[in-house]
Chain A
Amino acid sequence: MVLNLDLINKLLRGDKRTCARMITKIENNEKEAEDILKGIYEHTGNAHIIGITGPPGGGKSTLTYRLSKELSNQGKKVGIIAIDPTSPFTGGSILGDRIRMNKLATDPNVFIRSMGTRGHLGGLSKATHGGIKVFDAYGCDYIFVETVGVGQSEVDIVKTADTVVMVMVPGLGDDIQAIKAGIMEIADIFAINKSDLEGSERTTREIRMMVEMGNEEKKPPILNVIANQNEGIRELIEEIHKHKEYLISTGKLEEKRLERIRSEIITLIEDEIKSRIFNDKDVYKLLDNVLKDVYNKELDPYTAKDKLFKAII
Chain B
Amino acid sequence: MDRPIRVLVAKPGLDGHDRGAKVIARALRDASMEVIYTGLRQTPEQIVAAAIQEDVDVVAMSILSGAHNHLFPKVVKLFKEEGVEDVLVIGGGVIPDDDIPGLKEAGIAEVFTPGTPTTKTIEFIKNNLKK
- Interface pair B29/A92, CB less than 8 Å apart: yes
B45 near A: Cβ within 8 Å?
yes
- Interface pair A93/B55, CB less than 8 Å apart: no
Q: In the docked arrangement, what's the CA distance between A285 and B29, Å?
A: 36
Residue of B nearest to A16 (CB): B52
Question: Chain A's interface: helix, strand, loop or mixed, by majority?
Answer: mixed
A116 near B: Cβ within 8 Å?
yes
- Interface pair B37/A17, CB less than 8 Å apart: no
Which of chain A's residues have a CB closer than 8 A to the CB of B33? 92
A82-99 with Cβ < 8 A to chain B: 86-87, 90-96, 98-99
Contacts known (A90-B29, A92-B34, A102-B39); A20 close to B53, Cβ less than 8 A: yes
Q: In the docked arrangement, what's the CA distance between A23 and B35, Å?
A: 17
Partner of A91, one of B25, B32, B37: B32
- Interface pair A113/B35, CB less than 8 Å apart: no
Which of chain B's residues have a CB closer than 8 A to the CB of A111? 53
B113 near A: Cβ within 8 Å?
no
Partner of B3, one of A28, A86, A98, A102: A28
Chain B: interface size category? 20 to 34
B30 near A: Cβ within 8 Å?
yes
A193-211 with Cβ < 8 A to chain B: none
- Interface pair A92/B36, CB less than 8 Å apart: no
Residue of B nearest to A89 (CB): B30
Question: Chain B's interface: helix, strand, loop or mixed, by majority?
Answer: mixed
Q: In the docked arrangement, what's the CA distance between A28 and B57, Å?
A: 13
Could you mark each residue 33-54 of chain A with 1 if its beta carbon is under 8 Å from any beta carbon of chain B, else 0? 0000000000000000000000
A112 near B: Cβ within 8 Å?
yes
Could you mark each residue 17-50 of chain B with 1 if its beta carbon is under 8 Å from any beta carbon of chain A, else 0? 0000000011011111111111100110111011
A114 near B: Cβ within 8 Å?
yes
- Interface pair A102/B35, CB less than 8 Å apart: no
Q: In the docked arrangement, what's the CA distance between A280 and B20, Å?
A: 46
Q: In the docked arrangement, what's the CA distance between A90 and B83, Å?
A: 33
Which of chain A's residues have a CB closer than 8 A to the CB of B54? 20, 112-114
Which of chain B's residues have a CB closer than 8 A to the CB of A118? 4
Which of chain A's residues have a CB closer than 8 A to the CB of B37? 94-96, 98-99
Which of chain B's residues have a CB closer than 8 A to the CB of A96? 37, 39
A109 near B: Cβ within 8 Å?
no
Give me the interface of A with B, judged by CB distance under 8 Å. Answer: 16-17, 20-21, 23-24, 27-28, 86-87, 90-96, 98-99, 102, 105-106, 111-114, 116, 118
Known: A105-B53, A116-B4; 13 extra A-B contacts, CB below 8 A, are A16-B53, A17-B52, A17-B82, A17-B83, A24-B6, A92-B29, A92-B33, A94-B26, A98-B36, A98-B50, A106-B45, A113-B54, A118-B4
- Nearest first, the 10 closest Cβ-Cβ pairs linking A and B are A92-B29, A99-B39, A20-B55, A28-B3, A105-B46, A91-B32, A105-B49, A24-B55, A92-B32, A96-B37
The 15 sampled A-B contact pairs (Cβ below 8 Å) are: A16-B52, A24-B6, A24-B55, A27-B3, A28-B2, A86-B34, A91-B4, A92-B31, A94-B37, A99-B37, A102-B50, A106-B49, A113-B54, A114-B36, A116-B4
